Amino acid sequence: MLLLLFRFFLLHNGLLCHGKGTTAPQALRPHHPAAEEPLAFRVIQISSFANHSWAHNQGSGWLGEIQTHSWDSAMGTIHFLKPWSRGNFSQAELKNFQSFFRLYLQGFIQEVQAFVNQFQFEYPFEIQLSCGCALRAGTLSESFLYGAYQGSDFLSLQGGSWQRAPGAGSRAQDVCRVLNQYKDIEELEQELVSKTCPEFLAGLLAKGKSELEQQVRPEVWLSSGPSPGPGRLLLVCRVSGFYPKPVWVMWMRGEKQQTRTRRGDVLPNSDGTWYLRVTLEVAAGEAAGLACRVKHSSLRGHDIVIPWGGHSILLILMCLAVMVTLAVLVVVEFWFVKQSSHGSFLRVDVNKFASEHSPEDPRAGEQVYLTEKLRIKPKFFKWKTILSQL
């Protein structure tokens, strides 16, 4: 692995595009007003080793919580998952990156397997790498490169040297000691992560501005969960359909936050929006006066507050609309029955119709009346049935 990185450093002048500067321009300010953390672009590598003869690489690129790239390990190509995933880089520059990653991933497996015995890696095992950069206020905030072994933090590149992750053990210390003998790796990291990455991130922010600034209001509803015990209630506040991801949800009593609030994971919906479930366990007599409060960038400071036992105004309006519609149908049906009983529903002047259209058949008007009656009445009852089911 060390020799491979060294060779890549010697080749990077031909494979990597040189930057136009060491800092991101002011036009690249974050376009994600709800984000509290610096907006970061990261490349994630997952290498799985089943035995000494079988291994597999996976790769992906992420802008914050949005996946922008994936790696086709079979074809050795980059898939651009968004129309703006190419940023401002040219086709030639992106082709160089693709060649770089293809060579790197192929060689990474060979070099790791060569060091398996020295570092006492035990099959099967998995190595995960995450590297990238973050922007705050339009300038480079940080660059990072982390490594994990078997899903646990293993090492990182900090200040130009490899450092063992806390609690990683002596094996990680041995790996860092060997890696720190190769100072060229520091220069490679500075070129890739501290210069090239911010420029690529700048292009993503510029090209993807409209999607990154998208705001979708959350929908909120309350329900009770499974009873946690006798005399106890589990209050559930569900928030769904919001974008971007950062959201604040809390059970409140007046202006006092309920510290026993339990927040689940923010999960993705199929349409790219997000979902969150927040619960609070209380005694049955303590539920009155509680409310779920939601803060989100799309609300522009107007928080959603739904009291326990209250109802969403949208739900109330829907119920009122259905009730009014059914009331109108009942009145119309009463009128229909009343008119039918007097034989005057949609009746036309039989004699007039007969004289104008069929003087020889005075029953023609009555036939038209019956035809119209039979045609309209089923439609009326069909509408009534559909609304009644609703």
Q: Which two tokens stand for residue 18?
A: 């040189």
Q: Are residues 163 and 273 in the same domain?
A: no
Residues 131 and 191 in one domain: yes
Structural domain ending residue among the three candidates 251, 281, 310:
310
Domain count within the chain: 3
In terms of Cα–Cα distance, which of 84, 81, 83 is closest to 69?
81
Please give the residue range of the domain that contains residue 84.
Answer: 2-212
pLDDT tens digits, the chain, 390 residues: what are they?
444 443 443 344 334 433 333 333 333 233 343 334 678 999 999 999 999 999 999 999 999 889 999 999 999 999 999 999 999 999 999 999 999 899 999 999 998 999 999 999 999 999 999 999 988 766 777 889 999 999 999 999 887 788 999 999 999 999 999 888 877 766 777 778 888 999 999 999 999 999 988 999 999 999 999 999 999 999 999 999 999 999 999 999 999 999 999 999 999 999 989 999 999 999 989 999 999 999 999 999 999 999 998 554 445 556 676 677 777 777 766 766 666 655 544 444 444 544 555 545 545 554 544 444 444 445 445 544 544 554
145 and 273 share one domain: no
Q: Which of 279, 310, 341 is the last residue of a domain?
A: 310
pLDDT confidence of residue 378: 52
What integer best gives the mean pLDDT of the chain?
A: 79
The answer on 369 and 298 residing in a single domain is no
**What is the structure's pLDDT at 315?**
53
Report field, pTM of the whole predicted structure over 0.75: no
**Are 343 and 329 part of one and the same domain?**
yes
- What CATH number should be reported for the domain holding residue 128? 3.30.500.10
Alpha-carbon span 104 to 1, nearest angstrom: 10
Task: Clarify whether residues 43 and 167 are in a common domain.
Answer: yes
Q: Which of 267, 288, 310 is the last residue of a domain?
A: 310
Question: Does one domain contain both 187 and 266?
Answer: no
Measured distance CA(353)–CA(369) in Å, rounded = 11
Percent of the chain residues past pLDDT 70, beyond the cut: 71
Q: Are residues 188 and 252 in the same domain?
A: no
Alpha-carbon gap, residue 53 to 48, rounded angstroms = 12
We report the CATH number of the domain holding residue 241 as: 2.60.40.10
Write out pLDDT tens, residues 337-365.
Answer: 666 655 544 444 444 544 555 545 545 55
Q: In whole angstroms, what is the distance from residue 236 CA to residue 292 CA?
A: 9
Query: Do 287 and 334 share a domain, yes or no?
Result: no
Q: What is the pLDDT of residues 8-65, one digit of tens each?
A: 433 443 344 333 333 333 332 333 433 346 789 999 999 999 999 999 999 999 998 8
Residues 19 and 81 in one domain: yes
Same domain, 302 and 321: no
